[in-house]
Amino acid sequence: MLKPSLNRRRITAFTLSVATACALAAPVVASPTANIPSGTFTSALQLANGTQATNVPGHWLVTLSAPSVSNGGSASSIETQQDKLAEAIKDAGINAKITNNYDQVWNGVSVSVSDSQAAQLAKLPGVVSVQPVIEVPRPEVKTSKDLTTSEGETKYSWGAPLGMTNADRAQSELGLTGKGVKIGIIDSGIDIDHREFGGTGVSGSGTSREKGDGAKADGAVGFPNSRVIAGYDYVGDDYGANGTYDPKPDPIPDDCGGHGTHVAGIAAGGGAAGSSTEVRGVAPEASLGAYRVFGCDGKTSTDIIITAMEQATKDGMDVVNMSLGAAYMVLPDYPTTKAVKTMVDAGVVVAIAQGNDGADGLWTLGAPGAATEAITVASVDNTVETNYYFTASGVDNKFFYNVGSNGGDFARSNVAYPVVASGEADSEDGKLCTAPSDTNAFKGKYVLIRRGGCTFGTKAANAQKAGAVGVIIDNNQAGTIGMDLTNATDPVKIPAVSITQADGDALRAALKADTTVTFGDTFGDRPVSTGGLVSDFSSWGLNGKLEMKPDVAAPGGLIWSTWPLDHGGPFNTISGTSMATPYTAGAAALILQAHPELKDAKNASTSEGVRARLQSTGSPRLWSEGNGDKTLLEPTARQGAGLIDVYRAASTKVLPSVSRLNLGQQIAGEKTHEITLTNSGSEAVTYKLGHVDTVTTTGESSKPTRGTTNGATVSTDGTSVTVPAGSSAKIAVKVSAPAGIGNGDFYGGYVTLTPDNAAQTLRIPFVGVGGNLAESKTLYKTGPVLATEKLKVVNKAGHQFTMFNDRPHVYFKADVPLIRSGLVAMRKTDDGKYEVLSDKVFISMSDKGWNRTSTRLVRWDGSYLDANNQLQQAPEGTYQLWELNAPAGADTTVLEQYNIWMSNDFTIDWRRSDYLPTIALKASGDVTAAATTATADASTSDADPRNGKPEAMVDDNVFTYAVVSSGAPITLDAGKVYNISKVQYVPNQGNDGVDSMPATGWKAEVSVDGKTWTDAGSGSLSGEAMVPQDLTLKSGAKGRFVRITLTSDKGKVGVAELRIAGTPAGDATAAPTEQPTAAPTGSAAPTAAPTGSAAPTAQPTGSAAPSNPAQPTAAPSVSASSSASALPGKPSGKPSALPGKPGKGDDNREPLARTGTTIAIGIGALVLAAAGAGALALRKRRDAEAGSEA
């Protein structure tokens, strides 16, 4: 049950208006589920800061129903289905072109089609879903804390990260090198000239390209070679730069960005063991596939990534590394995430980066790493930083540096360059965000510039304009910097490096007129104080199913690896989960070499077997904020099973059948987990059973803090277990959440199996969520609130919405991921009770998933669906809007796992009180329905059959309409003579996917007998969409009949309603024996709508959220949903209690009546009200904690 005091934020603390918040957040409006014949349509996805993911304009992904080849589908049947789709597109008159066909890991196509027509693809036969192709940013090179504790020594230490996981022992003692295993790298390519990848070590010897012109030199070594045996460049050098997505494929996947080469070196660099001049990867003899999806600069797109995933699977890659993703996309329903499952089902081990947004708190996992089947990897800081350093004349320092990516070529030529500072460290000149007026200010010199104020690319470009030959950027806080020098307006063609703040201060203080810097090929090591701890940038889980993500952790902070020869190589040190992921991919290769039965299985057991070995032998990390307290462990929601141990993973003889326990929400109840331990060894092993806890987390998702210090309760069916040699044994484990844990708090730990001999300790990590996430204090970052058309918060009951120009909005910003979000309209009856407005219950329902920080803004247009699935106009009266949200992991069939928010009472008015009831009117005229063209946010349901008939204009329902040609008359019969003062014209409301077509001019005539007509006035109209217009007639206008002529320069006029205002002028006039005299001929009748056109009855009357929320005509609407036919999942059995949640959020509305300290509303009562068999009695009173009404 929900306590009334939870989640209350007083309006006085709500410092931003909703309009301001929406303008900043660029919210995506919920599109209600519609009666879609075939598939679903998603117009936008959400990213890290709550804004929409950036769609690649005019490009969409269409999922088809047949299974992919890797899922057992037939290539020929897939081809047939895709051919039929192409025919259906043509037959439907959709101007679209299929640009890519996919069959291996996903049955679908990418389509080039205007955004306005994309929704129509969803109703074509065989279509499951239509989703946008989105931009995927370049993998981020992360900044690390000030990690070093002493000056370095000139020695090479790639052995440090290998030693951290005992990968060196796996190589030297077990003889594992990855030989015979293929690792695919989906990234920016690989520098195939590099010696570690079968090249000569000389740039341009066979495969390198000069940046910008795409030229390749001829040489003795080509592609493929002995190490890089497969791959392709899908994009070319310029793809994604400056927001342009024009692929120029190339058969040679050479790397001009650096990231892919660095990743490949970690996984499989072929350096000799112990070499001081080469990089030896985790699997140094594994073969590589290079699938280039990034250009030299800029982003890539998801359709390209899927293409690479397809090819890597076709090429038989055993392991695929994906050090990329879009942050915060924890909900695994996007095609790239689904493709991961298909690859795993085909026997491919897929290692994916967890993401680098740890500073932003919980739920920051990226896609496709959210996939259950992926092995998702967190980062641990290296114990030793290896890096190049430069020297400065007259200064006894070694200045360790990182080379920026996407800048000019960098050469370690031992040339002494003059160096100057651009200005005082913290001055505007010191930041160099504006180019000097003197174009020779830095001619021939390196320039020292302080971080801050503008992008790294801007700083370097400004130095370049003033003649600089290179740039040194020093940090403005403790730590190192990873720099991307991409600059859209002025590409950076000079090299740039970064140094720490301390080194920057030392260099700046020592500068003299003749100071020089020298970049040689010398490098060294220095210890890292945070070595072995989870990196501060490593993202948090969980995923949308509350499953453990990350799965494991590996070295990723300050990793020395290969780098393109002509872009600052041959080596470089950078940080990120991008580095931890190939480490794990290399470990997987060693495990597959050691256990060929896994490699040969070619099904999901391959990946699960690798995961089980990595997780059960992992080493938990100390809490990074624990100041060295060895009793505190990092949460499993951030480290998974802990740091991998490659030697133990490859050599363990005992394995558990379950490698992690995903406990879900505490409210869902506890269950016993049966675990089978299998011993492949020749000796029995007896284990003592126990557990250790990790730190719990509580508070806002963006700022998690330590929660309860109580630990979980773990019970087993014994204190020990013996696993016989060559046999198995079972244990039963039950985990209970810690006492005192809050709703939505994370907890975790490890079930431990400690052997009584020399065998290895096994650990099974677990993770869970306390209480009921729906009742979390931090479910919402903002709101929910009730707001007006201009997006101003409604603070008290009784606000009247004049529905055409002021309709009710509900706005909130989530702080946890949501998997379902719905809106219910509750109408107040005359006896003070409330009942569900529609038999369909929900007027809006979205199952598409809303990531943490997502913004939901819904405008109710006043429509609902009746029992016959017809769109009706809500009666005037008093209402509440109820927002039902199911957070990640919720069982959507159990109402208790929804958060229920209820608005203030408000009234709606349709501006018809001065007019005669339309039921008394009859209409005639040459009318039709409009040919429908669905917009990007519209559904694709069939058009309402009532539209296009004269009675649609006088049925007291603004959601039916007719269309007339401009200048064509419409005759209204009032049944008797009236003194008529005005006529109300209501344009069509934009339902059925048809834009509102308002008139801009009018003319009225009146007649007593329908034969003789008198001019009653004319005038111009505002042309404002959807808003009623009052047509004031001339004084003395009298008649039974009114003939209205509406005009528009667009040729057609939409009419939802016509009403007459007036007083009776005497007895009813006898009806004429013939129809009223028609208007003069010459007005062309409108063309009838195509018989095959379809349009939604249940979609927003507006499309996207307004960029300027102050403009109400652009605000989004939501209409009733034809498929939202019942409460969540129609729970069976005795109805559970509905967790009432009055007055929570920012609007301080009055609460519902309470029983004791909680509000009890029976779901049964709500269902009865929806069915018309009962009513929900609710009494209103002021909440003592609500504060005064504004």
- Please give the Cα distance from 589 to 181 (Å, whole number): 6
534: tokens are 């989870």
Helix (H) or strand (E) holding 1166: helix 1163-1171
Residues facing residue 873 across a β-bridge: 863
Cis amide bond preceding 1086, omega within 30: no
Helix (H) or strand (E) holding 588: helix 577-594
- Please give the Cα distance from 735 to 1099 (Å, whole number): 45
User: 348 Cβ partners below 8 Å, 6+ apart?
Assistant: 312, 313, 317, 318, 319, 320, 606, 607
Tell me which residue of 382, 380, 402, 384 sits closest to 503, measured CA to CA.
402
- Identify the DSSP state of 1091: T
For helices 604-616 and 577-594, the axis angle rounded to 10 degrees is: 110
- Identify the DSSP state of 817: -
Query: Cβ–Cβ contacts within 10 Å for residue 222, how many?
Result: 15
Backbone angles phi, psi at 229, to 5 degrees: -95, -10
- Please give the Cα distance from 255 to 203 (Å, whole number): 12
**DSSP per position, 980-993:** EEEEEEE---SGGG
Q: Find out whether 454 and 546 touch, Cβ atoms under 8 Å.
A: no
Query: Cβ–Cβ contacts within 10 Å for residue 354, how many?
Result: 36
Amino acid at 784: P
* Ordered strands of the 713-716 beta sheet: 654-656, 673-679, 728-736, 713-716
Query: Cβ–Cβ contacts within 10 Å for residue 155, how many?
Result: 11
Looking at 115, 187, 237, 503, which residue is catalytic? 187
Tell me which residue of 318, 259, 28 sits closest to 136, measured CA to CA.
259
Q: Find out whether 732 and 717 touch, Cβ atoms under 8 Å.
A: yes
- Identify the DSSP state of 328: T
Catalytic residue at 1117?
Answer: no
Long-range contacts of 870-873 (CB under 8 A, 24+ apart): 870/944, 870/946, 870/1097, 871/944, 871/957, 871/959, 871/960, 871/991, 871/1097, 871/1098, 871/1119, 871/1120, 872/957, 872/959, 872/1120, 873/910, 873/956, 873/957, 873/958, 873/959
Catalytic residue at 259?
Answer: yes
Q: Find out whether 152 and 970 touch, Cβ atoms under 8 Å.
A: no
SS (H, E, C) 416-469: EEEEEECCCCCCHHHHCCCCCCCCCCCCCCEEEEECCCCCHHHHHHHHHHCCCC
SS (H, E, C) 59-83: EEEEEECCCCHHHCCCHHHHHHHHH
Helix (H) or strand (E) holding 1032: strand 1029-1032
Residues facing residue 1020 across a β-bridge: 1001
- Identify the DSSP state of 1176: B
Strands annotated E in 114-218 = 127-136, 182-187
Q: Find out whether 852 and 814 touch, Cβ atoms under 8 Å.
A: yes
Tell me which residue of 553, 523, 551 sits closest to 538, measured CA to CA.
553
Task: Write the CA distances from 142 to 433, 538, 556, 564, integer angstroms.
Answer: 22, 10, 10, 19
Catalytic residue at 187?
Answer: yes
3-state secondary structure of 804: coil
Looking at 194, 259, 262, 673, which residue is catalytic? 259
Looking at 31, 323, 575, 578, which residue is catalytic? 578
Catalytic positions: 187, 259, 578
